[in-house]
Each structure stands twice: as structure tokens, then as C-alpha cells.
Amino acid sequence: MTTYLLAGGGTAGHVNPLLAVADRLREDDANAEVLVLGTAEGLEARLVPARGYELLTIPRLPFPRRPNAAALRFPAAFRRAAGLVGSMIRDRGVDAVVGFGGYASAPAYSAARRADVPLILHEANARPGLANRLGARYTQFVGVAFDGTPLRHARFVGMPLRREVESLDRAAARPEALEFFRLAADRPTLLVTGGSLGARRLNRTLLESASRIVDAGFQVVHIQGGRSEFTDPGIEHYRLLDYCDRMELALAVADFAVARAGSATVSEFAALGIPAVYVPFPIGNGEQRFNAAGVVGAGGGILLDDAAFLPAWVDSTLLPLLADTAKVADMAARAASVGVRDGSDRMVSLIHSAL
């Protein structure tokens, strides 16, 4: 029996590909034991047990960004965390450590190196995080979601996607999606999503433009995300949701999308051939702009600064684009040309190579 320790968490960008790989490992070998290493505070604390996996936790340990008291305490705290993971590796007979970045990953990478256990990494963002930059020094088995990711030993595997997305037949699922969202069969659908936390600029601009979008003959599925700041305007053919538990149905019905450029969002849209306007998150290290670079370069998406996504831009640019069905179809084909549907299989193949 092979025992895997999958390390990562904190955000959906780390947890979702981890769970996709965990599912595939368990599908391939029913006798395999799949353990997940994370923190008690991250999204994994809820999602991992709900998926049926055992979650092992270590203290949340952010990398210090400036010289202060926390930076002075960090080395000792890191050694303790790595030692704790080392004990888990020994006690549970772990055969391979698979890391996805995030707070729990770096101590796991150090522990795997000390225990001489095969280490395999997956980097979901086009601009790699600190943990995976460290881990890539310890292994040659490094899978990346985006071609050209500047990480040592990187090889392109794509994004491990949830099975319901990976195997989605959009045409076959469309009738169910139309019924689920109470949409009209004769109108093209615009999907708007800012990710699980939402995006204030996207939400505000789309709500201000809602009537004009609908009057132009379109319908909208608008997922506003975690803040839930806005109330439903009650406009026919406009569906405002706080969350969407059936995201595969939203993807099935989308003819075009407006979204942030999180790694999972970009990967899912490309895999399914959904053209989009990507509005990268304006704060942080700019990785979202890099995430979208490949599909935008292929002509399957448009990149727009957050500050420029205003109602006037919707009127002058987005509505004419949505009305140009030939252009939308061409963008869809171009998006699909760079999409990957078998990222989970490719990542599992890399794991088997390391073993």
C-alpha cells in the first residue's frame, strides 16, 4: 500500500488542485492511503474532511516579509514545524510528499528532504510562491499549471481540475443549467465571477450595467462572492447569487465570462473553451496578470485593468463584443487551444515517476 502526504492549503487555489489529485490517486489505487497536511485556519480545515480525507495540521507559519520580532522567531518555529511533519512521515509510513504551496508546504518540503522521501510539487500560479520556490531546490519533479512558469525543474502539466469540470459536456449539461439558474434558452449568457471572495469593482460595474446588458438581448449569471454586499436588483434575465454550489452548471451555460484571473478560473475557462475578459486583482504580487497571459496571448481572452472596468467600458466595448457572435466563437476556439483537461492525470503520472 502506498501512503501519500499531500501538503498545501490556505486558499482555494491551493486546496482545489490538491483535492483533484487526491481523488485521482484514490481512483487509481483503492488501497492507497491519502493524507493531507494543512492548518486549522485554512480553507482545507473544512474542505478536506468534507471530501473524506484525514487532515493532519501544523501551526500556521507565514514567511516573514520584514525584519521584526516575528522574523526573529521564525527559524525556530520553522524547525519545530518541520520536525513535527518529519514525525508524521515516520509514524504514518509516508512514501511520497506532494506539495501544492501554502503555509503548510515549506515545512513538509524540508521534512521530506531530511527523511529522504520523494518530493513532488505542483505550482498553480504563473508566478510561483515562496514555498514552492524553496521546494523546487529539493526535487526535480515539479509540475506547473502554466507554461513558462519560472521555477527550477518546471514541467508543464496544467491545472488538476475537479472531475465534474474535467469531464463536463457543456452542450449536454446546458438544459439542466438553464433550468437550475432559471434562464431563457434563446438568450446568450454572460457569467460574472470574482472568485470565492468576490470582486467589488466587478460587482458594482455589472450591477450598474445590468439593465443595459439585458436590454441588449443577453442574460447574466452573476456570482458576487463572499462579501455579499449587493442585493438582487430584481431585473428579469439577471441572476445575482452570493455563492454557486454547482459551478459546473455555470460553466456549462456560459457563452462569455467576466472574471478575476485566479489560476483555477483561467484554467477552467481555457479547458472548456469559454472566452473571457480577465480583470486581475489589483493588489498583491501581480500573479493574476501572469496567469491570464497565455490565454490572452492566444486570443482567447482580454486583459483589462481593474480601474478601467467601468460602466462606460461595458457600453463601449463589452456589449459590442458580446453581439459579435463570430468574434466570440473565434475567441472560444482560441481559448480551448491552450486549455488542458487532463491536468490531474499528468500530475499523477509525475508522482508515479518520482516513485
> Model confidence over 82-130: pLDDT tens digits?
899 999 999 999 999 999 998 889 999 999 999 999 999 999 999 998 8
Statement: residue 35 has pLDDT above 80: yes
> Are 150 and 273 part of one and the same domain?
no
> Are 250 and 144 part of one and the same domain?
no
Tell me the average pLDDT across 2-21.
90
Q: Counting Cβ atoms within 10 Å, is residue 245 exposed (0-12), middle (13-18) or buried (19+)?
A: exposed
pLDDT in the model for residue 70: 64
Query: At residue 91, what is the residue type?
Result: D
**pLDDT-derived band at 37, boundaries 50, 70, 90:** very high
Statement: residue 219 has pLDDT above 90: yes
> Are 147 and 196 part of one and the same domain?
no
> Are 322 and 346 part of one and the same domain?
no
* Mean residue pLDDT across the chain: 92
pLDDT in the model for residue 77: 72
As a whole number of Å, the CA-based R_g of the chain is: 21
pLDDT in the model for residue 66: 67
> Are 192 and 133 part of one and the same domain?
no
CA atoms of 57 and 50, how far apart (whole Å): 15
Q: Counting Cβ atoms within 10 Å, is residue 346 exposed (0-12), middle (13-18) or buried (19+)?
A: middle
pLDDT in the model for residue 281: 87
> Are 224 and 102 part of one and the same domain?
no
Centre a 10 Å sphere on the Cβ of residue 237 and count the other Cβ atoms it contains.
Answer: 17
> Model confidence over 136-161: pLDDT tens digits?
999 999 999 999 999 999 999 999 99
CA atoms of 186 and 239, how far apart (whole Å): 16
Alpha carbon 303 to chain centroid, angstroms: 18
CA atoms of 309 and 224, how far apart (whole Å): 16
> Are 151 and 174 part of one and the same domain?
no
CA atoms of 9 and 7, how far apart (whole Å): 7
> Which of 220, 287, 281 is closest to 256 using CA atoms?
220
pLDDT in the model for residue 137: 96
> Are 241 and 101 part of one and the same domain?
no
pLDDT in the model for residue 228: 67
Query: At residue 43, what is the residue type?
Result: L
CA atoms of 315 and 210, how far apart (whole Å): 11
Tell me the average pLDDT across 310-330.
97
How many structural domains compose the chain? 2
| Structural domain containing residue 226 | 164-337
> Are 141 and 273 part of one and the same domain?
no
Statement: residue 54 has pLDDT above 60: yes
Q: Which residue has the higher pLDDT, 196 or 57?
A: 57
CATH code assigned at 30: 3.40.50.2000
Q: Which residue has the higher pLDDT, 3 or 196?
A: 3
> Are 191 and 325 part of one and the same domain?
yes
> Are 190 and 257 part of one and the same domain?
yes
Query: At residue 349, what is the residue type?
Result: S
pLDDT in the model for residue 12: 76
pLDDT in the model for residue 69: 62
Q: What percent of the chain has pLDDT over 90?
A: 78
> Are 237 and 108 part of one and the same domain?
no
* φ, ψ at 328 (rounded to 5°): -65, -40
Q: What percent of the chain has pLDDT over 70?
A: 94
Contacts of 247 (CB under 8 A, 6+ apart): 165
Tell me the average pLDDT across 48-73.
79
> Model confidence over 123-134: pLDDT tens digits?
999 999 889 999
> Model confidence over 331-343: pLDDT tens digits?
999 999 999 999 9
